[in-house]
Structure 1
Amino acid sequence: MSSAETDSLFDEVADRAVALGNEILDANPDADAWEIASGMLSGVVHFWLYTHQPCADPSCRSCAEMATAELRLQQLVDEVRESAEESTYFHSPFDRNVGNA
């Protein structure tokens, strides 16, 4: 799979996740949006951990970065931080640390 195809698939999956969240919110107007988002995040975390398990070869160089639960968790946290910081929603005009001139 080419880099462009991988990027396209990444974007499609991300867009579908957002669309699913919006669909669930629309179908449940009295629901707590934060609860829905946390449920989606929980499912994504479980899926990510499942798909990033190392292979059965303890000396596999390809799996070295994911060879322990702690290493996988650090990779996950790093990826979440990167996605959050790239998001247009990362900063809010209501953040307490927003400067006012």
Structure 2
Amino acid sequence: MTTTEDLIPGITWTQLKTVLENMADTPAKKTMVKHLVEATRKQAPFLPAEGSFKEILFIGAALLDVRFQPSALDLNTSGVSSPSSPSRPLSHW
């Protein structure tokens, strides 16, 4: 049986988005958070809990990477690699 000491405290997707937006140091990163949290939320039912948690950690890592400075233009393009892309791509299950 799992005890409350074994569990990470629960958090809503809205709370998670707020925490990550507060970590974002640029307007472009704040915009990125909105889209990445929504994508992770949509993936979550199809991933094991560890997979969703891993994706959340990757979002946080990208936000804290000082070398990763997306521009608004980067956020409007998809599938295009740019010099401001994260130094490590997100992994998928």
**TM-score, structure 2 length as denominator?**
0.31
**TM-score, structure 1 length as denominator?**
0.29
Q: Of Structure 1 and Structure 2, which has the larger fraction of its residues in helix? A: 1
Q: Which has the higher contact order (CA 8 A, sep 6+)?
A: 2
Q: Tell which structure's C-alpha radius of gyration is larger.
A: 1
